[in-house]
Amino acid sequence: MGKLVLFMHISLDGLVAGPNGEMDWIRISDELFEYSDRQTAQSSTALYGRVTYQMMEAYWPTAAEQPGASRHDITHASWYKQAPKVVLSTTLPDSAQPNVRIIRDNVAAEVQQLKQETEQDIVIFGSPGAAHSLLAANLVDEFRLFVNPVILRDGIPLFDGSQPALQLQLLEAVTLSSGVQGLHYRRIAEA
């Protein structure tokens, strides 16, 4: 059975985006990309909300072919192309792509079934709205948080109060030279 792993950049005050979805505060580095690529390699399936999926789909299918593509662009584009993609959306039309599945309703039951059918990890990248739904349904098994040394004061929180209380076990903490801390937690029990 696959685990649902939430990959999310987060500010020190618990926000995942600015008030209008801004993400310009995220500290990007080659070191961060190398770390996240190692984690993504353990996963077989990507799960997104509609907005993040459309953003990813606009970039990753051709990222490796662009002039000056970085090692991360090449590595992640290869993973992205082969990974089945699951999108939580009530408005996105059905995809003609064979490896894209749209979940419109019964999200908890559909994602639980996906976890049963998947052997490797399922990663949800960003997608705060979808993350809120999955957290509220108590479906997230692990958290890979990239804590950026910034206080935003206003924006979209990772935890919005709709999710149950959780007890977590820290599996790994890595501090990158940019000051970003990579934290890997596993859910151990409800609080």
Domain boundaries defined on the chain: 4-190
User: Per-residue pLDDT tens for 54-94?
Assistant: 999 999 999 999 999 999 999 999 999 999 999 999 999 88
Radius of gyration of the CA atoms of the chain, in A: 16
Average confidence score pLDDT of the chain? 93
- What pLDDT sits at residue 94? 84
Instruction: Report the SS3 class of residue 96.
Output: coil
Give the pLDDT of residue 42.
Answer: 87
**pTM score:** 0.91
- DSSP states of 105-168: S-HHHHHHHHHHH-SSEEEEES-HHHHHHHHHTT---EEEEEEES---SSSEES--S-SPPEEE
| Residue range 98-149, pLDDT digits in tens | 899 999 999 999 999 999 999 899 999 888 999 999 999 999 999 999 999 9
Q: Tell me the CA distances in angstroms from 94 to 9, 31, 61, one per residue in order.
A: 29, 37, 18
The domain over range 4-190 is classified in CATH as 1.20.1530.20: no
